[in-house]
Structure 1
Amino acid sequence: MEQEDHIVTVVISQIVKPGCESAYETWLKDITSACASYAGHLGTNVIRPQPGVRPEYVIIFRFDGYENLKVWMTSRDREYWLNQAQNLVRSDPHIQQINGLSAWFSLPGQPLKTPPRYKTALLTWAVVSVLINVLNRLLTPLLRNLPAVMISLIISAVMVALLTYIVMPWVSRVFSSWLYGKSRGV
């Protein structure tokens, strides 16, 4: 694992044994609560299995930096909760770590693979440039009675939400052959 002072995301996937889903959901709430008590924890997302699409649970933990992530990953709490899940899952979890904006560049239903940083930086810059100009033109007239700081906060919040949930997943699919190389399927 690389030591860096920016957001670190850990993606854990595992397949739950048939009939153990309810117990796994309870375990998931407990380990998520335990993780949330650690310094630097920025949030946890869970992607549940979808029949015919993805058989595994995908759990995404975000931390503000490598050192705080390392404290969680080597903690007795985490070890305890992993031991509690052993009878609920088919095998050990598959764990991947990604840093910074790379988390935007993952394709749904595909194993997590991040493209070269220069490609993520270039594509992010292009998308942010277009999106900030569009949002400024559309939202600034509607918000003109607010202080400039509030306008900036609102526009940046809308931009981050759009980038995270709509724009970057779409852009990642559209530019997947350039980002990942010709052999990468969508």
Structure 2
Amino acid sequence: MNPLNQPDDPPVTVDVLQQVKPGCEAEFEQVLSDLVKAAKGFEGHLGVNIFRPANHSNPEYRIVFKFDHLSNLHHWEDSAIRRRLLERTKRFTSGSNQFQTLTGLETWFTLSSQGAIVPPPRYKMLVVTFLAIFPLINLLNLVLQPLLKPLPTLLRGLIVTSVMLSLTTYVVMPRMTKLFARWLYPKSKG
């Protein structure tokens, strides 16, 4: 299934914050490991990042799941194995977990070190996206157009757009987000 043809089934990022009971970190880590292994077996799973607590007096874990399509995320969320594993985590956690699901351009602007995913202002996303796409589209046109010249115009456009969006989503924007992190996500003064 091609995400470019499925606007109602976009790529998705799920950000989960979970408090672990003091002294239960090892048990939680085992269940978390089982959860990650299980998620990897589901279609469309693009990876998971685990950010362990920096402060042991506040043992909050951040887990970020990525799926290629919202429908594949729903298959994972509705699975019996996920329900069983989440039930096991309840013994080792306190409070309810906080989660946020993001689709669309916001997923380009997710930093791995933040406590929760809060997209930057739209004008900042526009500037960084422009700085990423302008050189990329010109480079792709320079490299691909001579190779694609024999093809019909619409097919050339489709191929260039598909390559550009794939590179933008998986290669360029994660690096641009890190490069511009201080501007996109300034530290609040407190």
TM-score by length of 2: 0.67
2:72 to 61, 68, 73: 68
Task: Mark the runs of 5 or more structure 1 residues left unpaired by the alignment.
Answer: 141-147, 178-183
2:88 to 84, 87, 95: 84
Structure 1 61/105 Cα, relative in aligned 2: closer, same or farther at 3 Å?
Answer: same
Provide, for residues 79-125 of structure 1, a one-character-per-residue CA deviation record: whole Å limited to 9, x for no partner.
Answer: 11110010111122111101134234245334321246675244212
Query: What is the correspondence of 1:13-162 to structure 2 with a 5 Å cutoff?
Result: 13-51=17-55, 55-106=59-110, 108-115=113-120, 119-129=124-134, 132=136, 161=171
**Structure 1: how far apart are the matches of 2:43 and 2:170?**
24
**Structure 1: how far apart are the matches of 2:184 and 2:50?**
26
Q: RMSD value over aligned CA atoms? A: 3.5
Equivalent position of 2:14 in the other structure: 10
**Counterpart amino acid of 1:62?**
K
Equivalent position of 2:178 in the other structure: 169
Task: Please tell me whether the aligned partners of residues 106 and 172 of structure 1 are also in contact (alpha carbons under 8 angstroms).
Answer: no
Q: 3-state DSSP class of the match of 2:92?
A: coil
Structure 1 175/46 Cα, relative in aligned 2: closer, same or farther at 3 Å?
Answer: closer
**Structure 1: how far apart are the matches of 2:98 and 2:17?**
5
Q: CA deviation at 1:161?
A: 4.8
The ranges of structure 1 where at least 4 consecutive aligned residues each deviate by more than 6 angstroms after the TM superposition are none
Structure 1 25/83 Cα, relative in aligned 2: closer, same or farther at 3 Å?
Answer: same
User: Percent sequence identity over matched residues?
Assistant: 31
**Counterpart amino acid of 1:174?**
W
Q: Give the number of aligned pairs.
A: 160
Q: 3-state DSSP class of the match of 1:92?
A: strand
Q: 3-state DSSP class of the match of 1:90?
A: strand
Q: 3-state DSSP class of the match of 2:132?
A: helix
TM-score by length of 1: 0.68
Provide, for residues 128-171 of structure 1, a one-character-per-residue CA deviation record: whole Å limited to 9, x for no partner.
Answer: 435x59xx7xxx9xxxxxxx9xxxx9xx97x955642x531341
Task: Please tell me whether the aligned partners of residues 9 and 103 of structure 1 are also in contact (alpha carbons under 8 angstroms).
Answer: yes
> Higher helix share goes to which structure?
2
**Structure 1: how far apart are the matches of 2:109 and 2:77?**
24
